[in-house]
Structure 1
Amino acid sequence: MYGRESAAAEPRLPAGAFEEIARIAAREEVALEFIDGKMWEKPVPDGDHAMIIQWLTRICIQARPELWLFPEQGLLVQGYRNGHARPDGVLAPSEALAGQSEWASADGVLLVAEVTSYDRDTDRRDRVEKPRAYAETGIPVYLLIDRDTCEVVVFADPDGTRYETVRRLPFGRPVELPAPVGILLDTEPLKDWVK
């Protein structure tokens, strides 16, 4: 984190100012994130991370050609990063984001996907905060591809505060993404994209 911890009385950095700083100051190997008015750095996704998103995109196109997996699409969500999240992938009807801004409504989103990164913040971000925020927003399915545990975790049935159904399967097992997604994943290739 940059600077010192801010006290409640100190002003927070506006999101627009953060975005400008990130564009100017981000180094090639680091991305900046803006969480609860504070700036954090995290490693940029590696090549294996990109391969996993490519793998998922191909499966989604083949199984459901009317849908698209939008990479790194900003979404308006409940209770996370002042209402903003940027999942690794957003599965929605191919025209769902037409005319929307950088921070799109989650209406019509069927699934959000995250691939863990090898950083100190992954546990809190991908395994705790994002499942809660996505469930509160009502996104039907959250797919977590956890490279640390070599598992695919499928969160489903949001009740407005959490996902009621959570399935963990090791890489290599077939994974059924529940309705409204309805796609079967052959996760064997994921074994090749972990450290």
Structure 2
Amino acid sequence: MAALPVPEHEPVSSGRHDSRDTENAFTQVSAAAPAGWRVELIEGEIHVTPPANGEHEEYVSEVSGQVRDHHKRYGRYTGIGLNVPGASQTGHVIPDLVVAPKGTFDNKEEWHDPSAVLMVVEVTSDSTAGNDRVKKVRGYARAGIPVYLLIDREAGQVTVCAAPEGDDYATKAQYKMGLTVPLPEPLGFDLDTAEF
């Protein structure tokens, strides 16, 4: 995932940036992006990601199916935009999978308040791994999302982040890919990663 330079904007010499300029640039880039591409605003930088490959989507599908099997009342959403706090006033992210009570996103908004979200899932790619491992941890923790599940294909491991506190999660447990991974409440079930 490459950070795009903000079009027609010069860096501000004071070290501060005008969040309105960033938001305007983000809106322009989002409108110009090809269908299926993700445009996110992460800690003041615009990131554009091409559509995911099949392996990536198989991982997302497997997690979604296991959530469905254990929690019929939870919705499993892909392509949902969330507003998360970041270095800029607002960040706009599109997690690979969002788990929330059914009906949480039953509106016409493009970017949603994350307060009802129970878990976000990110599956790394070579181009997104840096954001998924660092910047999104901070954003999801700041947003108070109870569980962040990071499936790191490049490292061959799964990380479960829980108990958000400020800019980080109080607990982070790492598991080798292929093992059973216990998910804390509000999920409270063992995720079988043998299919990954």
- Residues 67 and 13 of structure 1: CA distance in aligned 2, closer, same or farther (over 3 Å): closer
Mapped contact 1:13–1:38 kept (Cα < 8 A): no
- Residues 102 and 166 of structure 1: CA distance in aligned 2, closer, same or farther (over 3 Å): same
Structure 1 residue aligned with 2:152, among 116, 133, 146? 146
Q: Following superposition of structure 1 onto structure 2, how do residues 5-16 of structure 1 map, counting pairs within 5 Å?
A: 6-8=10-12, 11-12=21-22, 14=24, 15-16=26-27
Cα offset, 1:97, TM superposition: 1.4
User: 1:69 — aligned with what?
Assistant: 76
Cα offset, 1:129, TM superposition: 0.4
Structure 1 residue aligned with 2:117, among 109, 121, 137? 109
Cα offset, 1:118, TM superposition: 2.0
Mapped contact 2:44–2:87 kept (Cα < 8 A): no
Structure 1 residue aligned with 2:142, among 133, 136, 142? 136
Quote the RMSD (CA, aligned, Å).
2.4
- Residues 20 and 151 of structure 1: CA distance in aligned 2, closer, same or farther (over 3 Å): same
Q: Does 2:185 align with 1:174?
A: no
Structure 2 residue aligned with 1:90, among 92, 98, 106? 98
Structure 1: which 5+ runs fail to align? 191-195
TM-score by length of 1: 0.84
- Residues 91 and 12 of structure 1: CA distance in aligned 2, closer, same or farther (over 3 Å): closer
TM-score by length of 2: 0.83
- Larger helix percent: 1
Q: Which 4+ stretches in 1 moved above 3 angstroms?
A: 1-6, 9-13, 30-43
Q: Percent identity of the aligned residues?
A: 33
Larger deviation, residues 65-74 vs 76-85: 76-85
